[in-house]
Structure 1
Amino acid sequence: MREIVLDTETTGFDPEQGDRIVEIGAVELWNHVATGQTFHKYINPERGMPQEAFEVHGLGDDFLRDKPVFAQIADEFLTFVGDAKIVIHNAAFDMKFLNAELGWLKKPQLPWEQAVDTLAIARAKFPGSPASLDALCRRFAIDNSSRTLHGALLDSEILAEVYLELIGGKQPDFALSTDTSGAAAGQSDNWRPRPRPTPLPPRITEKEKAAHAAFVDALGENALWSRL
């Protein structure tokens, strides 16, 4: 299974108000393991970089002036993503910008159902707790000390680690899926373990059985366990 963990940096919050993407960073996962394949582009937003955005990203007009515009990297980006699931923290924000940029170019847009929102996963898993990327790094003891400024590629690499923890650790399928087809050798994607041919012997001792029976008797005949 191929997944793309992605982050963008922008000049602001709303593409309909003229804000643009200035950086895209993405890393490839295969069966929940990073392959080392990445996509990283700085992008000339064709507008001035607001001071507040510069303070967050550290990307100024001089740095971005000679970078390609989105139209020049759009096809390469779409090819890299393909039909893989796109893992994003606060997916609504990044998908809004990506589809705005693609729409202005009359390019195919990314289906919303292609996105996996780690912010929604974190809020469902830890209701009421902080769910920012920094907060999740603290929760899972992931080193983000190099994240002094927001950078798309670094953030996507950190998010990949957070995502794997959110879905159960770095090997959520216990390495059963080891070949490039997404399933272990000789197994289909819907493989399930079979029952043991010989059941494991009970670990409870006769003494423990007797103690439990005495405990239930002491509860009286109206106790739930007695009636069942």
Structure 2
Amino acid sequence: MRQVVLDTETTGIDPKQGHRIIEIGCVEMIGRKLTKRHFHVYINPDREVEEEAFRVHGISNEFLADKPRFHEIAQEFFDFIKGAELIIHNAPFDIGFMDHEFARIGGYPKTAEVCGVFDSLVYARKKHPGQKNNLDILCRRYGIDNSHRELHGALLDSEILADVYLLMTGGQTSLGLASNSESDSKQEGGVEEIRRLSQERPPLKVIRASEEELKIHEERLDLIDKKSGQSLWRVKH
């Protein structure tokens, strides 16, 4: 099965009030494994981002000014998701915006006509009734490190949701160690068993960041500091 974990960021909460998509992030899974294929784009909405929305995702009007319009990326986006099962947290929100954007252009079917849709929020509420089930809570519940998530971002949230989905819908159900054989047998539910590594294996190669990479890293931390006050990477413990 081909699945696409998807998230969007928008100018506000209601497309009927003229709000638009400003970021789309998708990661692909086949057979419950990430393929490293993804789709990610920022979009000029031709309208202002509401202040409340900006506080959530930190995407400014100035940043979006030179980005493509939705009609310029629509076909590539449609081709990426077509035929896949979409995994979305609170699917009606994102699907509503997507269908609104495609309808503005014309010539595209509704998303549900060409894709399956799995709403991970609905699933989480059934699995954990009476509890909060937003993405941050689910990360803590399933032991997923999302400390790098200072602000919402469509691609980052899609990557995190993929981890949540895999654990919430099956994940690693047993820690039983495999024997020393080279068997590729799997446990019930399609989860691969843990295999012992040979003690004679060569040491892992240590790859250190270059000066240019460190410079880019510091520039990114400066941006996070500017938007959120202070990044976790610069907090002294």
Letter in 1 for 2:148: S
Alpha carbons 2:25, 2:158 under 8 Å: kept? yes
- How far did 1:99 drift? 0.5
Matches within 5 A, 1:181-192: none
Residue 133 of structure 2 aligns to a residue whose secondary structure is coil
Letter in 1 for 2:130: G
- How far did 1:134 drift? 0.4
In structure 2, relative to structure 1, the CA distance for the partners of 1:30 and 1:48 (3 Å cut) is: same
- How far did 1:108 drift? 2.0
Residue 36 of structure 2 aligns to a residue whose secondary structure is strand
Q: Distance in 1 between matches of 2:55 and 2:121?
A: 24
Match of 2:129 among 127, 130, 145: 127
1:78 aligns with 2:78: yes
Matches within 5 A, 1:70-219: 70-106=70-106, 107-111=108-112, 114-169=116-171, 172-175=189-192
| Aligned-pair Cα RMSD in Å | 1.5
Alpha carbons 1:4, 1:26 under 8 Å: kept? yes
Deviation >3 Å, runs of 4+? none
- How far did 1:175 drift? 4.8
Structure 1 window deviating more from structure 2 (83-92 vs 54-63): it is 54-63
Q: Distance in 1 between matches of 2:109 and 2:69?
A: 18
* Percent sequence identity over aligned pairs: 52
- Counting matched residue pairs gives 176
Q: Which runs of 5+ in 2 are unaligned?
A: 174-188, 194-237
Structure 1 window deviating more from structure 2 (131-140 vs 108-117): it is 108-117
Q: Distance in 2 between matches of 1:55 and 1:175?
A: 41
* Structure 2 partner of 1:182: none
Letter in 2 for 1:41: V
Q: Distance in 2 between matches of 1:56 and 1:111?
A: 27
Q: Distance in 1 between matches of 2:145 and 2:24?
A: 22
Q: Distance in 2 between matches of 1:48 and 1:134?
A: 27
Q: Distance in 2 between matches of 1:77 and 1:28?
A: 13
TM-score for the superposition, normalised by structure 2? 0.72
**For 1:41-84, what per-residue CA distance to the aligned partner results, in whole angstroms no more than 9, with x for missing partners?**
00001101112211211111110000001101110001111200
Matches within 5 A, 1:44-55: 44-55=44-55
- How far did 1:19 drift? 0.5
Q: Distance in 2 between matches of 1:105 and 1:175?
A: 44
Letter in 1 for 2:4: I
* Structure 2 partner of 1:62: 62
Q: Which runs of 5+ in 1 are unaligned?
A: 177-228
In structure 2, relative to structure 1, the CA distance for the partners of 1:41 and 1:170 (3 Å cut) is: farther
* Structure 2 partner of 1:196: none
Q: Distance in 2 between matches of 1:148 and 1:43?
A: 21
* Structure 2 partner of 1:184: none
Letter in 2 for 1:102: F
Alpha carbons 2:171, 2:191 under 8 Å: kept? no
Larger Rg: 1
